[in-house]
Structure 1
Amino acid sequence: MPRKITCIITDDEPMARKGLQGYIEKIDFLQLAGVCEDALQLNSLLRQQPVDLLFLDIEMPYVTGVEFLQQATNPPKVIFTTAYEQYAIKGYELDVLDYLLKPVSFERFLKSANKAYDYFQSTGSGDKDHLFIKTDTRLEKVKFAEILFVEAMENYVAIYTAERKLITHSTLKGLQESLPPAQFIQPHKSYLVNMDAIGAVEGNILHIDKYQVPVSKYQKEEVMERIGYRK
């Protein structure tokens, strides 16, 4: 069976959280990694434990689900859960997987969960350990573990491994959706990095094999937390 899809519930209503938790327990390819009462708790949890999928309420205190998603860097895929239909258009603008209206029936939840399953299978985030990259007239197989980092170059991206550099027509965001989120981090708007490939951190520079990758000041704290640094 493919790797389970890890997910977090975030909702300020206790009964809504309990209902979603019960639904998730019934579906064998979903694995609940955490339950949060608001976006602030979610923000802290994601820094410690990256996941594949969020079941995210919209109307919450402090920070709404929409506001959280708008400011998040490299967020998991999202299924919105809300009692308000007027957010549907905004949800699709933010490229969410689905939009569940409360009260959510199990039948509708299962349909949404299957949609997430199909998405992760098609992007290679299930049990696959590789992706195929189109370069000129060839399709090149690249294992996730081989990738050191990815660099954005206008309408192209360069994928660096220890042995080769592959250039393909894609956006950084488009390629990011094909990579396992628990393994790759975005330290800068122009780079994705395999955390296993980071050899050292020096100031705002990541040393990766013979290369150096910059870290933006906005991402420094998250990078240090994700690699396990403790002050």
Structure 2
Amino acid sequence: MDKIKCLVVDDEPLAISLLGSYVQKIPFFELVFSSENPIEALDFIQNNEADLVFLDIQMPELTGINFMKIVGDKLKYILTTAYSEYALEGYEHNIVDYLLKPVSFERFYKSALKAQERFSFVENKTDSHFFVKSSGQQHRINFEDILYIESIKDYVNIKTANQEYIVLDTLKSLEQQLSEFSFARIHKSFMINLDQIKSIAAKKIILSSDHEIPIGDMYRENFLKRLK
């Protein structure tokens, strides 16, 4: 796997220095840009390749949340802040992890491993299968075998007819990676394999395995479009 190209965006010079030094210690990371000014970072992203942003939430020119809204799913994010109350809001976006300042290297390294897993999934995906890490092992999962994927806080449960795999990832991330295939998000906590649908009721999907998965109101319209 190529090195993950990282940006550090924080309005505190000491945080820039510390996080930059941490990034340079990680063999699969490459520091390509750092700045105290999020506007400069936006300009860099428009004109250069990047993968992951270590992003402060509280910045005077532009908050980290608004930064993510502008950049969108083009990049992945690890949020850094001194204020833990922002954690829940942050996890609504495409977040790999959330670091509370002051950040120790041990905690940073755990975030780096999360990021490596997330990017490794993208590289190990083909038209018929992908590999995921579960219970300390890499498992090959054929798309056709998947019934549904359920969100469980910071993890997802990938359910097949005979097995389930608990994976450190988010449903939003998998939705982005699998939407080009025969998968659709139908609920805030569920994504299903469209090829496994047995029948559709008013508020639920019955799969070939007879599992019943609820349909969320905000997902209904897009789901019906996918079926067409």
TM-score relative to the length of structure 2: 0.57
Instruction: String of CA shifts for 1:163-192, please: whole Å, max 9, x gaps.
Output: xxxxx31469xxxxxxxxxxxxxxxxxxxx
Match of 1:95 in 2: 94
Deviation at 1:3, TM superposition (A): 1.0
Q: Judge conservation of contact 2:128–2:144 (CA < 8 Å) in 1.
A: no
Q: Letter of the aligned partner of 1:29 in structure 2?
A: F
Q: Judge conservation of contact 1:12–1:37 (CA < 8 Å) in 2.
A: yes
Corresponding residue to 2:182 among 169, 183, 205: 169
- In angstroms, what is the RMSD of aligned CA positions? 2.6
Q: Judge conservation of contact 1:85–1:101 (CA < 8 Å) in 2.
A: yes
CA–CA distance in structure 1, aligned partners of residues 70 and 30 of structure 2: 26
Q: Judge conservation of contact 1:38–1:61 (CA < 8 Å) in 2.
A: no
Deviation at 1:47, TM superposition (A): 0.6
CA–CA distance in structure 1, aligned partners of residues 120 and 82 of structure 2: 29
Deviation at 1:132, TM superposition (A): 2.3
CA–CA distance in structure 1, aligned partners of residues 81 and 45 of structure 2: 21
Structure 2 unaligned runs (5+)? 130-141, 146-177, 186-228
Q: Judge conservation of contact 1:8–1:32 (CA < 8 Å) in 2.
A: yes
1:132 aligns with 2:127: yes
Instruction: String of CA shifts for 1:189-211, please: whole Å, max 9, x gaps.
Output: xxxxxxxxxxxxxxxxxxxxxxx
SS in 2 for 1:111: helix
Deviation at 1:15, TM superposition (A): 0.3
Q: Judge conservation of contact 2:51–2:76 (CA < 8 Å) in 1.
A: yes
Match of 2:115 in 1: 116
CA distance 1:92–1:132, change in 2 (3 Å): same
Q: Letter of the aligned partner of 2:182 in structure 1?
A: H
SS in 2 for 1:80: strand
Match of 2:48 in 1: 49
CA–CA distance in structure 1, aligned partners of residues 10 and 144 of structure 2: 47
Count of residues in correspondence between the two structures: 142
Match of 1:63 in 2: 62
1:1-231 maps to which residues of 2 (within 5 A)? Answer: 2-124=1-123, 131-133=126-128, 157=180, 168-170=181-183
TM-score relative to the length of structure 1: 0.56
Q: Judge conservation of contact 2:78–2:95 (CA < 8 Å) in 1.
A: yes
CA–CA distance in structure 2, aligned partners of residues 136 and 45 of structure 1: 36
Match of 2:165 in 1: none
Deviation at 1:32, TM superposition (A): 0.4
Q: Judge conservation of contact 1:10–1:39 (CA < 8 Å) in 2.
A: yes
Deviation at 1:136, TM superposition (A): 9.3
